[in-house]
Structure 1
């Protein structure tokens, strides 16, 4: 792959706009009404993470509030079906647009490390979908699943950790590219 890898900037911008639109739909259509209805944030928004007791508290809250349960389910079967895929595609295309990994760090990078960097967006996507599925199982109508209850906090942590690493790498690489001398 060469720098830029032929990905038009308008494609990346379009994906970014779609991500922002779906994020706004999620936030203003579900997260804010959920907080207004229950006084508590959706667990998906806990950037610092949470533990199993927060999951049990959410299960109890949803058992007592049918409106909150419908909001949460609608969020998972609405914008949360497409947002992880859109953001995964955006992150991956941003990495491709920035060029090969070796040029990112100004030195030779082991090929496995280079390939692993390109996997980071997919780790985010899988973790986000895993979090959504775990939430649906943990907060379902039946008896709460012990596995889903234990897995949910870890999926959220993995989601935010991989997302943070992607954003840090993209920012670092964009700044390095901006500061590097132009080769015409």
Structure 2
């Protein structure tokens, strides 16, 4: 019996529900009010990425709008403190469960490949926290604000890239598992 096959589905379902709840809290408690207050979206939701000019515009906007600045800081010190850890854990457990449930001949081989696959959710979590910290520094009065503003777009790109690869792996493992085991053996 593999370690991943011992992960109960209710734990994965609970983590998924918690992630959805925290995502809803972030969206309806901070992202939507921020958009309503400023007419702009928070940088965290720019899936296609952004550049330093966008960061500079956001810096000027937050300097002029105290309500928006307070909303953004409250978001980073509220739901964004727990969401990256919850989602990284969920991604890791789903990858572990799906990967160990597929037949040996369809599994990725090589310990380096497996380590990279299992590390990917944690890369997402670390880069999401890095993006949050960079945002707080870039939009604050720190002497490191210009450096944080320069790396912020790269942190966001790395965050979404690692998340996308995790989701692709999950879909791939789910398809392989379905094809190997059939629809009736899903436990």
What TM-score, normalized to structure 1? 0.93
Contact 1:84 1:125 in 2 (8 A): yes
Give unpaired runs (5+ residues) of structure 1: none
Alignment of 1:161 with 2:155, yes or no, is no
Matches within 5 A, 1:68-147: 68-100=68-100, 103=103, 106=106, 109-142=109-142, 145-147=145-147
Q: How many residues align?
A: 184
Counterpart Cα distance in 2 of 1:181 and 1:88 = 27
Residues 3 and 180 (structure 1 numbering): CA distance in 2 closer, same or farther, change over 3 Å? Answer: farther
Q: How much has 1:181 moved relative to structure 2?
A: 3.3
Contact 2:95 2:118 in 1 (8 A): yes
Q: How much has 1:115 moved relative to structure 2?
A: 1.0
Look up the match of 2:181: 181
Q: How much has 1:71 moved relative to structure 2?
A: 0.2
Counterpart Cα distance in 2 of 1:51 and 1:125 = 22
Contact 1:127 1:155 in 2 (8 A): yes
Give unpaired runs (5+ residues) of structure 2: none
Residues 50 and 108 (structure 1 numbering): CA distance in 2 closer, same or farther, change over 3 Å? Answer: closer
More helix, by proportion: 2
Aligned CA-pair RMSD: 2.1
Look up the match of 2:13: 13
Contact 1:3 1:99 in 2 (8 A): no
